[in-house]
Amino acid sequence: MDDYDKWEPLFCEDEDILKQIQKKTFVPFTIFEDGTRTFSVRIDDKLTEKEDKYKIVHSEKYLFQTQGKAILSGIEYIDKKVEEKESIILDLQPGTYEVEVYLLAWDEDPQAFLPNGQISPKALSDFVVLVHSKTDPNKKYRERVNTFSEDD
């Protein structure tokens, strides 16, 4: 989508976003703050032992349907041509997927920083997104704008 007039009725208000979640075309990553965050996205995987140790919270699973592509980007990039420098683009088989999001306390890991205080290239991501190709037709999936909390 590269046109604001098409974007606005789909993503401008929380009610619009909720409709996209219910259609299974959008999974929110609501973090309530500006800034640069790091994301690790994996398919049909689980948290590593280290990620599990530093997880703060995780979302319930969302359901996501795709024609073959999933794009993780800031919502401000939806109304233009998405480029890889500002997003993560996944090529997936067309179908339905479960998506869960984990927030990590990456900076509590003693190996997160180099001796000079800079962030280590081996530091954990802020968020881990796990995409699962197996879904449960009997499961009730999350349909909330706020990724982790119950208040919308």
Per-residue pLDDT of the chain (152 residues; tens, 9 = 90+): 556 677 677 777 888 889 989 999 889 887 776 667 889 999 999 999 999 999 999 999 999 999 988 878 766 666 556 666 667 888 899 999 999 999 999 999 999 999 999 999 999 999 999 999 999 989 999 999 898 887 65
Give the whole-angstrom CA distance, residue 16 versus residue 20: 7
Strand partners, 57: 103
H-helix or E-strand containing 71? strand 69-73
Claim: this prediction has a pTM higher than 0.95: no
pLDDT value of residue 14: 84
Q: Judge contact between 100 and 60, C-beta under 8 A.
A: yes
Residues with Cβ within 8 Å of residue 47, at least 6 apart in sequence:
55, 102, 128, 130
- pLDDT reported for residue 50: 97
For the chain, which residues make up each domain, given as ranges?
4-132
Return the SS3 of 42.
strand
Please give the distance of CA 99 from its chain centroid, rounded to a whole number: 8
